[in-house]
Amino acid sequence: MSAQRKTAVVAIGGNSLILSKQHEDVASQWQAVQETCKNIATMIERDWNLIITHGNGPQVGFILRRNELAAHEVHATPLDLIGADTQGSIGYMIAQSLGNEFKQRGISRPIASVVTQVLVDREDPGFQDPTKGIGGFTTEEKAREFETDGWRVMEDAGRGWRRVIASPVPLKIVELEAIRTLVQSGYIVIGVGGGGIPVIEDESGNLVGTRAVIDKDRATSLLAQQLEVDLFLVSTAVPQVAINFNEPNQKWLGKMTADEARAYHAEGHFKPGSMGPKIEAVLSFLDAHPAGKVLITDPPNIARALDGESGTWIEA
């Protein structure tokens, strides 16, 4: 990495792209991305190198629904191409929003969005027992129709039926050296969107797309580990991490050691559907790169958190 600047991987969550169920349209997505990029630009203004990763779950769901509605008119889009499509569109939105913010602030930094493949093991157990829900909820009868196209379906906690796919462990970021070279050259890089496009090696060693979704926190952690960045910043919906979250005895945490975070996680403070995967991802980063630091906060508080006035810092 650059000797002059510190380098951070910044993982922006779904709330940075879609604020609520009432604001899922494209215009609202633009507005959410623009607000997030204002906060990220403040970090770049402080002379950081950044690699930005992002989620894409809702956008993938929208394209799957369009496939369903247009099935009688046009061919369906395979899931790996949907991943590539959403990486491109969201990367475009972030790059343009950041570039416009740079212009307003007089920042001169090039930006590049990299459509990123991530290698997984074709024998990963997740392929035999898929559990990651994808797409919208429907009735059992309609969900069963997806089975004719090779999907698995299941009932999801009383909310309806939906498709489920594998969420295999990420092993290698295919475009890692391209990302590294761009960062070393001073670029702000957007990559590994949505956890990356899952690919496997076939019998000949060639890469091919596979029907799966990689957890974006896991993939971002792998990127941060392999680049040995100074800071892994996880942008989420809350200004700090808390124990006993939403309980009368809730307690915000300004600092934690990795061991303390691991103990709190074992006690059940960080739920699987919210903070749990983020804590697992940052602990994996710190285990592999003990010299690094972790910061968890929401986008409006990034600057204050960097100054120690908000956010949760975690160190090995």
Q: Which residues are known catalytic residues?
A: 14-15, 132, 216, 278
- From CA 9, how far away is CA 227, in angstroms rounded? 9
Name, in order, each residue with C-beta under 8 angstroms of 64's C-beta and a sequence gap of 6 or more.
82, 134, 135, 136, 163
Q: Can you say whether the dihedral through the CA atoms of 113, 171, 54, 9 is positive or negative?
A: negative
Name residue 224's beta-bridge partners. none
Q: How many C-alpha atoms does 148 have within 13 Å on its Cβ side?
A: 5
Extract the tokens encoding 17: 């792209």
Neighbours of 142 (CB within 10 A): 13
- From CA 220, how far away is CA 172, in angstroms rounded? 11
Radius of gyration, alpha carbons of the chain: 19
Tokens 């930006």 sit on residue: 111
